[in-house]
Amino acid sequence: MNIFEELKERGLVFQTTDEEALVKSLTEGPVSYYTGYDPTADSLHLGHLVAILTSRRLQLAGHKPYALVGGATGLIGDPSFKDAERSLQTKDTVDGWVDKIQGQLSHFLDFESGNNKAEMVNNYDWFGSVSFIDFLRDVGKYFTVNYMMSKESVKKRIETGISYTEFAYQIMQGYDFYELNQKHNVTLQIGGSDQWGNMTAGTELLRRKADKTGHVLTVPLITDATGKKFGKSEGNAVWLDADKTSPYEMYQFWLNVMDDDAVRFLKIFTFLSLDEIAAIEKQFDAARHERLAQKILAKEVVTLVHGEEAYRQALNITEQLFAGNIKNLSASELKQGLSNVPNYSVDAEDDLNIVEILVKSGISPSKRQAREDVQNGAIYINGDRMQDLTYTLSDNDKIDQELTVIRRGKKKYFVLTY
């Protein structure tokens, strides 16, 4: 099975400009290719990971990747399938985001060894010095307004309004392809399916300005079985930055994917062979309640993104919380595992009697309810049941002198911080 066939088998090929010609090119020898990432935030997210891992698969097959971070296009904003204009960021902000994204990309691609080692490029290096007049004369003349208006990303915005800034974005991305072709003989661009219009602008410019053929391969925008999309614009982003989405949170995300998605995601997001995945699928289908596919998926992706140690910590947090063994976890681990639960900052003047603090922190709605909760055995302090109405929290209840975990009932956790 060649690399293109494997990509198709994994569900990673959505569109190509000329499949037969692309397969021929990939088969005949090493191809130089690029994927672009605009710095629209200080981190990439799981939506980006599909293209990143596809790029890595091609590198492992002997082809040479260029990772382009859009220091220039990030200042403009891509209109593709956005309902409104992006907010423009300052150059200092974008430059800071460029540095962070470059650091993340270096974790996935091999920039150190081999004839096909990856190279990092920034399109501000060529756009920063070009004059507006030169760009219009040397690039703009190859694009008709009719051609630009035909792009779906533009047509969807015409009714609500699109600025010339965003309208011209496709020309800038097209010029990226031309520039990389001229300097590095890049002949293939990889990106998400929502980028098709911008990406084919590059093949058009190569054809008209340089009389060369370029290829485009888009990967699908990943959705779950309900059609919900990964990505920060959907408000459910799982970030690659551990400070924005902890390894534990990422582990839980994959652990909780629906059964109908689990095997498909193994093909897309892991480097397990297709034979290995087929064997996992067989076991998984025989006992779906054991969630084997999800557990392997969570392990593989967290290890890939954050490393083996982070995976083991995420697994330990999961197991200890499930068992209620709060005291077996450190404060930093608890902050990961309980990051989304209600939090109350204890004031020096607070009465730390169990009934009083339950009400003050909002754990119980009233003193009467708080007393009932304690007496009925519904309150746990750091995993231990507390039924003494006179009990007062002390330093002994502080984990690492930072926090106390209170559970009400079977699953409702609360964190007191000091």
- Sorted by sequence, the CB contacts under 8 Å of residue 38 that are 6+ apart come out as 69, 70, 73, 74, 78
Q: Which residues are annotated as a binding site?
A: 34, 169, 173, 232
- Give the model's pLDDT for residue 151: 82
- Give the model's pLDDT for residue 41: 87
- Give the model's pLDDT for residue 287: 96
pLDDT higher than 60, residue 232: no
pLDDT higher than 90, residue 337: yes
- Shared domain for 123 and 183, answered yes or no, is yes
Q: Distance between CA 16 and CA 194 in Å, rounded?
A: 13
The DSSP code for 392 is B
Instruction: Tell me if 27 is assigned to some domain.
Output: yes
Q: Which residue from 417, 390, 388 is spatially nearest to 405, judged by alpha carbons?
A: 417
**pLDDT-based confidence at 235, cuts 50/70/90?**
low
pLDDT digits (tens, 9 = 90+) for 64-101: 999 999 999 888 876 665 556 667 788 888 888 889 99
- Shared domain for 193 and 314, answered yes or no, is no
Query: How many angstroms from the chain centroid is the CA of residue 282?
Result: 29
- Report the CATH number that the domain containing residue 398 is assigned in CATH: 3.10.290.10
- Shared domain for 102 and 212, answered yes or no, is yes
Instruction: Tell me if 332 is assigned to some domain.
Output: no
- Give the model's pLDDT for residue 84: 60
Q: Distance between CA 190 and CA 58 in Å, rounded?
A: 10
Q: Which residues are annotated as a binding site for L-tyrosine?
A: 34, 169, 173
Mean pLDDT of 403-413: 94
Query: How many angstroms from the chain centroid is the CA of residue 297?
Result: 15
Buried/exposed code over 69-85 (b: 16+ C-beta within 10 A; e: otherwise): bbbbbbbbbbbbebeee
Q: Which tokens is 224 given?
A: 């779950």
Q: What angle do CA 373, 379, 381 make, to 5 degrees?
A: 155
- Shared domain for 205 and 118, answered yes or no, is yes
- Shared domain for 315 and 382, answered yes or no, is no
Q: Which tokens is 373 given?
A: 């909760």
Domain residues for the domain of 211 are 3-219
> How much is the CA Rg of the chain, to the nearest whole Å?
26
List of long-range contacts for 398-404, beta carbons under 8 Å, 24+ apart = 399/326, 399/327, 399/329, 399/330, 399/331, 399/334, 400/330, 400/331, 400/332, 402/331, 403/331, 403/334, 403/335
Of 41-45, 368-372, 385-389, the one with minimum mean pLDDT is 41-45
If you write DSSP's letter for every residue of 233-293 in order, what string do you get? GGT---BSSTTTS-HHHHHHHHHTS-HHHHHHHHHHH----HHHHHHHHHHHHH-GGG-HH
- Shared domain for 62 and 197, answered yes or no, is yes
Mean pLDDT of 356-367: 95
- Shared domain for 73 and 129, answered yes or no, is yes
Give start and end residues of each alpha helix (H) in 106-246.
124-127, 132-138, 145-149, 152-158, 164-167, 169-184, 196-210
- Give the model's pLDDT for residue 162: 83
pLDDT digits (tens, 9 = 90+) for 120-170: 999 999 999 999 999 999 999 999 888 888 887 787 777 778 888 888 889
Instruction: Tell me if 378 is assigned to some domain.
Output: yes
Give the strand order in the sheet containing 15-16: 15-16, 215-219, 186-192, 32-37, 64-69, 119-122
What's the residue count for the chain? 418
Mean pLDDT of the residues in the chain: 92
- Give the model's pLDDT for residue 233: 54
Q: What angle do CA 71, 63, 297 make, to 5 degrees?
A: 80
Residue type, 275: D
pLDDT digits (tens, 9 = 90+) for 280-300: 999 999 999 999 999 999 999
- Give the model's pLDDT for residue 135: 93
- Shared domain for 164 and 67, answered yes or no, is yes
- Shared domain for 53 and 200, answered yes or no, is yes
Residue pair 116/59 in contact by the 8 Å Cβ criterion: yes
Domain count, the chain: 3
Give start and end residues of each alpha helix (H) in 290-416.
292-306, 308-323, 331-337, 354-360, 367-375
Instruction: Tell me if 331 is assigned to some domain.
Output: no
Examine the fold and report which residue of 254, 289, 323 is the final residue of a domain before the chain moves on.
323
Pairing of strands 403-408, 412-417: antiparallel
Q: Which residues are annotated as a binding site for ATP?
A: 232
pTM across the whole model:
0.87
Mean pLDDT of 197-208: 94
- Report the CATH number that the domain containing residue 44 is assigned in CATH: 3.40.50.620
- Report the CATH number that the domain containing residue 289 is assigned in CATH: 1.10.240.10
Mean pLDDT of 387-405: 96
